[in-house]
Structure 1
Amino acid sequence: MAEALLDVVLKNLNSHIQKELATFWNVNKEIEKLSSILTTIKSVLEDAEQKQITNQALKVWLQKLKDTACVLDDILDECSIKSSQLGYEGKNFTPSNQVNTCSLTFLNPKKMLFHYKVGKKVKEIRERLDQIAEERQKFHLQEGIVERGTEVVESRQTSSIIAQPRVYGRDEDREKIVEFLLRHASDCDELSVYSIVGIGGVGKTTLAQLVFNDEGVSRHFDLLIWICVSKNFRGRRILHSIIESASKQSYNVLDLDPTQKQIQELLQSKRYLLVLDDVWNEDQEKWDKLKSILVFGSKGSSILVTTRLRNVASIMGTIPTHHLSSLSEDDCWSLFKQRAFGPYREENVEFVAINKEIVKKCGGLPLAAKTLGGLLRFKNEEKDWLHVKESDLEFTGG
């Protein structure tokens, strides 16, 4: 989430807004510093997003970063709007005319005041980001844990297989989605796109797996296809994965036209369910291009999307979004016990109070409960459990 937000802010800094701000007194230097700081912080965000699950201090740091980035984005929007009102719109700001533009500003009190306010705000934000960047060092975050090329980071890979013996607290969510796919979507002439939205670790992928493996769903659809998209939304890679999943054969053709024809042939007259898991793409054009190729299925074909971002759901979805909430404390406790004690080991009653305090730190997030339960599974003595509780265990997932 934080990384997606920083992408937006960096894009704004490098857009026409930057050209406008570059004409302000010394603001261009602050912009360069801001861009550098944000780029530096962004390089460790992948690691931070993962480690915040077991570190409350890191979660607070990420929230501080997101809050500051939002303020900066608001300043940039305000600058863009105000610049248009003051007559900057449409002007071509270049180094050659920057001096003349700034000189003329002295003749316009409104522009002078606007320049001063913007410069002050940008400097304050830069100082706050400086502090945030310095604070990151105490977390010992690794740089460069991001996707490169067409690869997806191993830890972000998902599949349709449900990895845990029992899923708690998602029966109602599963029934609602299955109901839509089997009844309402069947009557739709257009391709239905159903989006599951929720914060990281809340169980979006697990819910999609429950739906994907539902017996009624298996009988209803001719084709079931699962694609892990992640942050690298490449339409051609997705199409190749669909072909390989549907045909059970590898596919290496690079040209779009034969790929599109192959998709049409595979989906023609078939009612299919396609799961696009962990989608981050907010580019409407990319989605429209992909969707135009996926309309070849028969009536009732559906796409199930999981994403952290509401914008993604708004862009892709054709029906109201399914917002996935946290687990109840009882369900979170049951999941924690499943991981901490296993199917055959009896729960140690001496540590129940400690366990429940730890579960409260999960914030209702299944990923947090599973991770903490796994960490504590082989703790045999109370002092070991207390040590985990009192160290940096503050667990409120991502």
Structure 2
Amino acid sequence: EDLKRLASLLSTIKATLEDAEEEQFTNNTIKDWLLKLKDAAHILDDILDECATEALAMEYKGSKCGLSHKVQSSFLSSFHPKHVAFRYKLAKKMKRIRERLNEIAAERNNFHLPEMDRERKGGVPDWRQTTSIVTQPLVYGRDEEKDKIIDFLVGDASQLDDLSVYPIVGLGGLGKTTLAQLVFNHERIVNHFEPIIWVCVSNDFSLKKITKAIIESITKTTCEDLELELLQRKLQDLLRRKRYLLVLDDVWNEEQEKWQRLRFALACGEKGASILVTTRLAKVAEIMGTIPLLELSRLSDKDCWELFKQRAFGPNEVERADLVVIGKEILKKCGGVPLAAIALGSLLRFKREEKQWLYVKESKLWDLQGEDNVMPALRLSYLNLPIKLRQCFSFCALFPKDEIISKQLLIELWMANGYIASNQMLEAADIGNEAWNELYWRSFFQNTEIDESGQITTFKMHDLVHDLAQSVTNEVCCITYDNGLRTVSEGTRHLFIYDKNSFEEIKSIQLHHVKSLKTYVEWNFDVHEACQLSPQ
């Protein structure tokens, strides 16, 4: 009964976890509270594990002795002499954690974090709103993709009777919206389509809201707040027998039924009418697209430098050689992502001391603050994940940057840590495979390798995605040859040792102060040549 009450209390606190996670990035008080909550959850998890392990041990001893089920039950009862000591020890731990959880629950009221259904959150923050106006003075490295989209829309698509939907997919910050803006405003598009419509969709895929936005974009006037039926009929009157182009920017909706209802309302245009969709999620592209998706590539180092240079130096400024050298090192943080190059360049616009540039070079990306900081854009992908997938993703910070990661190993580590478990229909490994696929479809994983049977065996994470994983967890400690020996904090749950030279030093660390270490992975240098992680 005590365990049930504890689990219920923990569930009540966790009901606000999603809101707290979002707030923690701008509120240090909430961030500290969230750390306390997670620490308490880990302690409770350890208590439940200890209880389950003891019960299994007792049950095994009972079955080994050939005892009946009834006798085994008696053996497990709290009155059995061998069980009394364990029960007493467990009761003390439960009392302490119950008191701690009550304190944390009381603290929550100070932050005004009501339990909220994410589906009810409406509105798009100003910084996420997009329009059809090209906001970048110069765009680099997108001519090929731009021409490919335009050629299709004014060429092949114009011969199709059915509504064409062209999806652009890529990591946050890669320039999907900018590419869509370039297409939208191109002379060939403007001359070919009438009307051309831009709608920023974001998380709230409301049929009524999107329909109103399309009507307002066409009529250039505010639309009345009518019922959906009347709005859709008004929309069809405006689009009927028109070869229109509709851009749906920043789409996150994965519910096929919602899209189908909107698509049927839009399928009234002239031959060649088309929709251009931008999304981070390959699953959304598969649901909406009528042609193969366009996966946006990373920019070349040359194009990234041009973007960075445009923001970091003034138009008539002579580029200092010493700053150029450091700047090109800083660009390695960008990983070919335009938004990162723009953000870091903007950060350095009025900094001309070498030590200031070196500080940026040596800093973690999420510690840097700037008007166009890339981390808030990347965190959208993280915050859009269900809670269970968030912990699966953040756990990936355990691996070093640019590591070739075994898919099977990662899933097994998820299972070992209790992030995924079997249900009545599927084994834990199958559920783990589904979780991995979900993260892959959401652009968190890349560079997959496939075996002879067509199964994915290994993958990598983009450097910025790895930075994201590190920025959202304080439980993972990865010690490598390039970051040197680091202090293993009390809250470390997962430890990865990758540096052969510091291995003996790690052994000498007093790990007894780490209360809840759950994962310990050590690089096996016998297979170093194979570049495959083999845990010991």
Alignment of 1:92-111 (within 5 A): none
Q: Relative to structure 1, is the Cα distance of residues 182 and 44 closer, same or farther in structure 2, using a 3 angstrom cutoff?
A: same
Q: Aligned residue for 2:20?
A: 43
Deviation at 1:43, TM superposition (A): 3.4
Q: 2:128 is matched with which residue: 127, 135, 156?
A: 156
In 1, the alpha carbon distance for the partners of 2:330 and 2:113 equals: 30
Q: Secondary structure at the match of 2:265?
A: helix
C-alpha contact (below 8 Å) 2:168/2:293 kept by paired residues = yes
Distance 1:188 1:31, change over 3 A: farther
Q: List per-residue Cα deviations over 1:249-291 (Å, max 9, x = no partner).
A: 1111321222122111110121111000000011111111111
Deviation at 1:149, TM superposition (A): 4.8
CA distance, structure 1, for counterparts of residue 258 and residue 351 of structure 2 = 49
Q: Distance in 2 between matches of 1:329 and 1:256?
A: 48
TM-score (norm 1): 0.66
Report the secondary structure of 1:211's partner residue.
Answer: helix
- Indicate conservation of the 8 Å contact 2:16/2:113, yes or no: no
Out of 353, 356, 365, the residue aligned to residue 393 of structure 1 is 365
Query: SS of the residue aligned with 1:303?
Result: strand
Q: 1:185 touches 1:300 (CA, 8 Å); kept in 2? A: yes
Which residue number corresponds to residue 305 of structure 1?
277
Matched, 1:230 2:202: yes
After superposition, residues 183-332 of structure 1 pair within 5 angstroms as 183-332=155-304
Alignment-derived partner of residue 337 in structure 2: 365
Amino acid at match of 1:262: K
CA distance in 2, matches of 1:179, 1:35: 54
Structure 1 counterpart of 2:52: none
Distance verdict in 2 for CA 1:204–1:43, change over 3 Å = farther
Give structure 2 stretches of 5+ with no counterpart.
32-37, 39-68, 71-103, 105-111, 369-373, 379-536
Q: Secondary structure at the match of 2:199?
A: strand
* Structure-1 separation of matches of 2:142 and 2:325: 26
What's 2:320 paired with? 348
Is 1:171 the equivalent of 2:179?
Answer: no
What's the C-alpha RMSD, in Å, of the aligned pairs?
A: 3.3
Whole-Å separation in 1 of the counterparts to 2:341 and 2:152: 29
Aligned AA (1:229): V
Give the structure with the higher percent helix.
Answer: 1
- Cα distance between partner residues in 1 of 2:8 and 2:178: 42
Q: Could you tell me which runs of 5 or more consecutive residues in structure 1 were left unpaired when the two chains were aligned.
A: 1-25, 52-57, 59-64, 66-105, 108-133, 135-141
1:30–1:149: structure 2 CA closer, same or farther, 3 Å change rule?
closer
Mark the CA change 1:279 to 1:143 in structure 2 (over 3 Å): closer, same or farther: farther
Write the deviation string for residues 353-392 of structure 1: whole angstroms up to 9, x where unpaired.
Answer: 1100111111111110111100000002112212222233
Runs ≥4 residues deviating over 2 A = 26-39, 41-48, 146-150, 342-346, 387-398
| 2:245 counterpart SS class | strand
Aligned counterpart, 1:377: 349
SS at match of 2:365: coil
1:282 counterpart letter in structure 2? E
Change (3 A) 1:185 1:43: farther
Aligned residue for 2:155, secondary structure, equals helix
| Kept in 2: contact 1:233–1:281 (CA 8 A) | yes
Letter matched to residue 21 of structure 2: V
Paired with 2:351 and 2:285, the residues of 1 have a C-alpha distance of 41
How far apart, in 2, do the equivalents of 1:143 and 1:162 lie?
A: 37
- In structure 2, how many angstroms separate the alpha carbons of the residues matched to 1:290 and 1:319? 18
CA, structure 1 residues 335+255, in 2 after alignment: closer, same or farther (shift >3 Å)? same
- Cα-to-partner distance string for 1:33-64 (whole Å, 9 max, x where unaligned): 4785485155324775x99xxxxxx9xxxxxx
- Counterparts of 1:116-127 in structure 2, within 5 Å, are none
Aligned residues: 292
Tell me which of the two structures has the higher relative contact order, counting C-alpha pairs closer than 8 angstroms and 6 or more residues apart: 1
Letter of the structure 2 residue corresponding to residue 329 of structure 1? D
**Cα offset for 1:343?**
2.4
CA distance in structure 2 between the aligned counterparts of 1:38 and 1:358, rounded to whole angstroms: 40
Identity %: 53
Query: What is the CA–CA distance in structure 2 between the aligned matches of 1:278 and 1:28, rounded to whole Å?
Result: 42
Q: d(CA) in 2 for partners of 1:211 and 1:308?
A: 18
